[in-house]
Structure 1
């Protein structure tokens, strides 16, 4: 499938949902993808990309930004405390805030830098032990702490539903959490379910393999 086809599917999903054409940000997930596939998307005008690892992004995006100009970069994978400084240099948004220790470190880094990337709080709606993210019951208190204790700019919530589950209830759960906490952003939906996510109110969809093809395996 091509980037143009994904953009068309996003547009049609928005139309079906009765939503504005520009109400979803398509994040092209470029993690572990060969450079030629990434530059092809850039050549087609894509300017929002997602990476899972700070180190991989650091080796790729400074040169690409120098060549192509401004690109919004979103960190989708877990953020280690010792990578926060580099993450602030590289990323416009971080989608994996999920613990108070990280909130504290991000607040200190933001104070030092005088700026902070947009932050999305990751929620483990399926309560899967192997997966990162807050327990749903902890979300309200955590968001209060982010605002009142750490003064962090929480832009939205993020979810990765269980692989073998109907994603719609998980998307609806995330939307309800966001609504009751006055949060506008909903980072939800990937290659296999982004149209369902759009129907449930997603503001950001994270699409990788449907744009780029299968990821390149690490060696």
Structure 2
């Protein structure tokens, strides 16, 4: 029977091997796009995985951590804080307004800002922070806002809403490629929307786009943040 220490070491070795592969693939995608690898940041999406995995990833140099459920993310943030492990938390899921206060307490960057009411809730919740809460506007590439994201026709107004609140700092945009679109078509549109936002807010340079199945294409169209889950941490099916 294996001990807890042995299981922990085996898991760290698994994560290290997966990370090496992901980094190699990011470097290859950057080379194909004529970009330097350091222009792309890897966000490890750790939803459903334990805080111990986050600590292991931090030990491997991965300190950008993505979560999409507040209750789970808040608990992990508390566990890492207690352990003295510093990471940057990215909230990447759709958010209800009543979660804003909790998320603002630990998140460094919220990727899913897609409506004025959420802007107000986050800004109000961020009043006591030492620095503004970073925000990305989630854009709807195909205009179907039921799946999250703001339509292009409403993007300018939402940019104005975020920038009107000093408690918030607009860092760029986030998008998820529609399942019925090719990644190239989706991320070309994301790049165009990013240009539109940067024309109004030059410092809003971040593009959060691309996941385990399509991040090379996203990098080809300028993604600066890629959200990687399954190919780094493994399948979630055995955790359910």
Q: Distance in 2 between matches of 1:18 and 1:68?
A: 38
How many residues are treated as equivalent by the alignment?
218
Partner residue in 1 for 2:124 = 108
CA distances 1:56-104 after superposition (whole Å, capped 9, x unpaired): 0112222224435210110000222222222112111100100001111
Q: 1:188–1:197: 8 Å Cα contact kept in structure 2?
A: yes
Partner residue in 2 for 1:19 = 35
SS of 1:4's equivalent in the other structure is helix
Q: Distance in 2 between matches of 1:145 and 1:117?
A: 14
**Residue range with higher mean Cα deviation, 105-114 or 189-198:** 105-114
Q: Structure 1 residues 25, 154: closer, same or farther in 2, change over 3 A?
A: same
TM-fit CA distance, 1:206: 0.2
SS of 2:147's equivalent in the other structure is coil
Counterparts of 1:1-219 in structure 2 under 5 Å? 2-67=18-83, 69-128=85-144, 130-147=146-163, 149-151=164-166, 152-182=168-198, 183-216=204-237
Q: 1:34–1:216: 8 Å Cα contact kept in structure 2?
A: no
Q: 2:45–2:229: 8 Å Cα contact kept in structure 1?
A: yes
Q: 1:76–1:96: 8 Å Cα contact kept in structure 2?
A: yes
Instruction: With a CA cutoff of 8 Å and minimum separation of 6, indicate the structure with the bigger relative contact order.
Output: 1
Q: Structure 1 residues 145, 61: closer, same or farther in 2, change over 3 A?
A: closer
Gaps of 5+ in 2: 1-16, 199-203
Q: 1:28–1:207: 8 Å Cα contact kept in structure 2?
A: yes
Q: 2:104–2:122: 8 Å Cα contact kept in structure 1?
A: no
TM-fit CA distance, 1:141: 2.1
TM-fit CA distance, 1:36: 4.8
Q: Structure 1 residues 10, 82: closer, same or farther in 2, change over 3 A?
A: same
Q: 1:32–1:216: 8 Å Cα contact kept in structure 2?
A: no
Q: Distance in 2 between matches of 1:209 and 1:106?
A: 29
Q: Distance in 2 between matches of 1:38 and 1:180?
A: 35
Q: Structure 1 residues 68, 48: closer, same or farther in 2, change over 3 A?
A: farther
Q: Distance in 2 between matches of 1:36 and 1:154?
A: 31
Q: Which has the larger radius of gyration?
A: 2
Q: 1:187–1:206: 8 Å Cα contact kept in structure 2?
A: yes
Q: CA RMSD in A?
A: 2.0
Q: Distance in 1 between matches of 2:119 and 2:45?
A: 24
Q: Structure 1 residues 36, 75: closer, same or farther in 2, change over 3 A?
A: same
